[in-house]
Amino acid sequence: MQLKDPIYGLRILSDYRKLRKTLEKRVKQPDLELIKRSFQFANRAHREQKRLSGEPYIIHPLAVATNLADWGLDNHTVAAGLLHDVVEDTAFGEENIQSEFGPEIHSLVKAVTKISTVKKDRARAMGLAGPEIKRLKEREAAENIRLMLLATARDVRVILIKLADKLHNMRTLQFQKAEKVERIANEVLQIYAPIAGRLGMFRVKSELEDLAFMRLNSEAYREIAEGLKQSRGELEDFLETVRKILKRRLSEIKIEARIDGRAKHMYSIHQKMINQDKHLGQIYDLRGIRIIVDEIKDCYGALGIVHTLWTPIHGRFKDYIATPKVNGYQSLHTTVLGPDGKPLEIQIRTKDMDERAEHGIAAHWLYKSSLDGAERHRWLERLTGLTEVGGDSGEFIEDLKQELDSDEVYVFTPKGDIIDLPVGSSVLDFAFRIHTQVGLRCKGAKVNDRMVPLRTELKSGDRVEIITEKNPNPSPNWLRYLQSPRAAQKLRAYFRKQEDEQDESKEEESLNLEGLTEKHLNNISELRIRRAKTADPRRVPIEVAGAKDIPVRYAGCCTPVPGDRIVGFVTRGRGVTIHRVDCPNLAAETHEKDRMIQVRWEGLTEKYPVQIDIHARDRQGLYLDLVGEITKTHTNILKAEAELPRTAGDLMRARFLIEIEHVDHLRDIIDSVMAVPGVVSVERMQDTKKKHPV
């Protein structure tokens, strides 16, 4: 090893020794010779490079490798951590990694190497301006994340190397330019920290969030840090009192336990202060206790002691041992009124559960040599599944953020299998989770043996049965009911495929509208364009500049549905693309305003009055329930009346005059009303004298 600068040379040697010690302590069967060769290769490759801090570049790969070793990952992953920037940032190529270290390490290094980025000077030579360069970089950043997740689908260690890389970069972010600091910190807060959380790596998640929070809102960060520092003595005294009480009572039933105060997570404290509109002194979950025991039975024994000592708060008990979270997290959570009468949060788990809670998916390497296919996280498979469906980078990133930001509900199939879904998911989300074809062919559902509308929101513990028809028959209206990004992607992909098939069938008849603006389209009769009929009769036609026969396609990035406010964008060779007016991709095209054109849903400027007739078994609150279900479908009620039963056993009759947009809207209303307990029938009235069942 040639280390030119003696001061930095000592620093590098010190960091290398720290890596070796961590490897020996945390990694099963450490291969010190492999790590030595990897370090020497990386040090030689990066020898002329420095970080923005002025330090030799090799400091960064050493830190990444040490993070990976600390998480207990295998030798090949730690070696890949040392080599992860060689291909991207030095003259050495993939073939060098392959020949020196073999296919496994080469595969990991290749997977974490970014796609090539457009440099400013080259971009300007291509004629790109500042905003265009920025948009290009955003698309490339999204594509990097997509490629990373595709690689993660094959080997989960790819995302772990990336997290180790992000963690060290965030620790040294102060040397970057201000605008880059903000971009990187936001990306970490929105993408990488949530990924760490979903992988069960809560220690990493907490540190990433706190580091990003410190850079994005330094003033709020300092205020919380000062507040915690001032109250530290009082808090420690309180927690010590609780520890002594618990130790004494647990020893009486012969349970050995380690009792710790919970670590303070700055960003989560800040979020609670904002969401609950409270100051620091009112946030009581700072007062947390974690009880670590040897066996699962001791967890429940300790819970019994806690609940006999202090009154549990109703609704604040969670058994994640019997029903683990999707990322494998297990623990008992309870909140009690502590010895001072204020809320006290307590977590109870075994030592293995605590290790997994700290290191998440990475903890598997502490017990095994790899992560078995059967143990792969269902959520990780869903996450990588987002990359399988077509769509632009903006759509992909928004879906990814939504997937990362959602909590879960746990529901059951008719056979008793547990399915996890984002909070707010409908029965349609459940159908698409079972299989894409089940979702596309869904025509109804039962929740806990009751027929319900497809938009019905599911709750933990629900048992769901999907009723399907022979052929796919989805409605664009379904996009309003889907909470799961992957389900929405599958549905959008179906409609895109239908649209593409229609485009192919009329390709010879299509007209190139390049360069046409609203001014050119005003005299539309001269164009003599005949719009082919859509294969989906429920698709609401679009009027373009007042004309109904212009070929259009629907943007996959924002998936406009009937009722959305929309605008047209004249595309080269493909007619007019319909976007929602708030589409972020459309906002990026403001420099081409001359290609924007006025469009509207044909007929949706007016709503149509329809009368429905409802028969139901009378009960208290029935009428309010009927009104509530109708309004939940975003329907305006023009007139309402009811006839109460004259004799016992007769049915109550209610009539509503409502405004609807299209037939799917009406079907949704009828499904919703039929789900109200006691409703026997819902019929559509053609006029005041004659009624027709829907």
1 is a domain residue: no
Please check the confidence at residue 639 and state whether its pLDDT lies above 70.
yes
Categorize the per-residue pLDDT at 586 as very low, low, confident or very high, splitting at 50, 70 and 90.
confident
Domain that holds residue 485: 406-505
- 203 and 281, same structural domain? no
**Mean pLDDT computed over 455-468:** 87
474 is a domain residue: yes
Instruction: Give the Å distances, CA to CA, from 691 to 17, 612, 658.
Output: 85, 9, 15
Please check the confidence at residue 378 and state whether its pLDDT lies above 70.
no
659 classed as catalytic: no
Give the number of domains in the chain.
5
568-573 — which CB contacts under 8 Å span 24+ positions? 568/542, 568/544, 568/596, 568/597, 568/598, 568/599, 569/595, 569/596, 569/597, 570/513, 570/514, 570/515, 570/516, 570/517, 570/595, 570/596, 570/597, 571/513, 571/514, 572/512, 572/514, 573/512, 573/514
Single out the residue in 367, 389, 417 at which a domain terminates.
Answer: 367
The share of the chain scoring above pLDDT 90, in percent, equals 27
- 163 and 29, same structural domain? yes
464 is a domain residue: yes
88 classed as catalytic: yes
589 is a domain residue: yes
Categorize the per-residue pLDDT at 302 as very low, low, confident or very high, splitting at 50, 70 and 90.
very high
- 137 and 49, same structural domain? yes
Please check the confidence at residue 214 and state whether its pLDDT lies above 90.
yes
CATH value at residue 186: 1.10.3210.10
Please check the confidence at residue 512 and state whether its pLDDT lies above 60.
no
- 634 and 583, same structural domain? no
Please check the confidence at residue 151 and state whether its pLDDT lies above 90.
no
- Per residue in 324-334, pLDDT tens? 876 678 999 99
- Per residue in 335-345, pLDDT tens? 999 888 888 88
- 147 and 84, same structural domain? yes
- 487 and 345, same structural domain? no
Categorize the per-residue pLDDT at 5 as very low, low, confident or very high, splitting at 50, 70 and 90.
low
- 241 and 177, same structural domain? no
- 571 and 488, same structural domain? no
**Mean pLDDT computed over 260-280:** 80
CB contact at 8 A, 672 and 632: yes
CB contact at 8 A, 197 and 361: no
User: Which residue out of 15, 31, 89, 549 is catalytically annotated?
Assistant: 89
Spatial neighbors of 129 by CB under 8 A, at least 6 apart, are none
User: Which residue out of 5, 24, 48, 88 is catalytically annotated?
Assistant: 88
Phi, psi of 159 (to 5 degrees): -70, -30
**Rg value, the chain, Cα:** 30
548 is a domain residue: yes
425 is a domain residue: yes
Alpha-carbon gap, residue 620 to 549, rounded angstroms: 53
Single out the residue in 567, 601, 635 at which a domain terminates.
Answer: 601
Phi, psi of 100 (to 5 degrees): -80, -35
CATH value at residue 669: 3.30.70.260
Report helix, strand or coil for 289: strand
Categorize the per-residue pLDDT at 133 as very low, low, confident or very high, splitting at 50, 70 and 90.
low
Report the candidate in 2, 7, 149, 156 with the shortest Cα–Cα distance to residue 68.
Answer: 156
Report residue 49 CA to chain centroid gap. 37
3-state percent helix, strand, coil for the chain, nearest multiple of 5 = 50, 15, 30
CATH value at residue 452: 3.10.20.30
Please check the confidence at residue 682 and state whether its pLDDT lies above 60.
yes
**59-63, 203-207, 472-476: least confidently modelled range:** 472-476
- 564 and 496, same structural domain? no
Name the strand (E) or helix (H) holding 628: helix 622-632
Single out the residue in 182, 198, 216 at which a domain terminates.
Answer: 216
**Helix runs in 1-58, H state only:** 6-26, 32-45
Phi, psi of 641 (to 5 degrees): -150, 160
Alpha-carbon gap, residue 396 to 386, rounded angstroms: 7
Predicted structure pTM score = 0.60
Better-predicted residue by pLDDT, 418 or 371: 418
384 is a domain residue: no
96 is a domain residue: yes
Pairing of strands 608-617, 679-685: antiparallel
- 637 and 581, same structural domain? no
Please check the confidence at residue 470 and state whether its pLDDT lies above 80.
yes
CA atoms within 13 A on the CB side of 648: 0
**248: number of Cβ within 10 Å:** 10
Report the candidate in 55, 46, 59, 57 with the shortest Cα–Cα distance to residue 16.
Answer: 59
- 458 and 336, same structural domain? no
Better-predicted residue by pLDDT, 564 or 444: 444
Q: Give the Cα-Cα-Cα angle 466, 469, 473 (nearest 5 degrees).
A: 105
- 441 and 353, same structural domain? no
Q: What is the largest CA-CA distance in the chain?
A: 100
Please check the confidence at residue 640 and state whether its pLDDT lies above 80.
yes
**What is the overall mean pLDDT for the chain?**
78
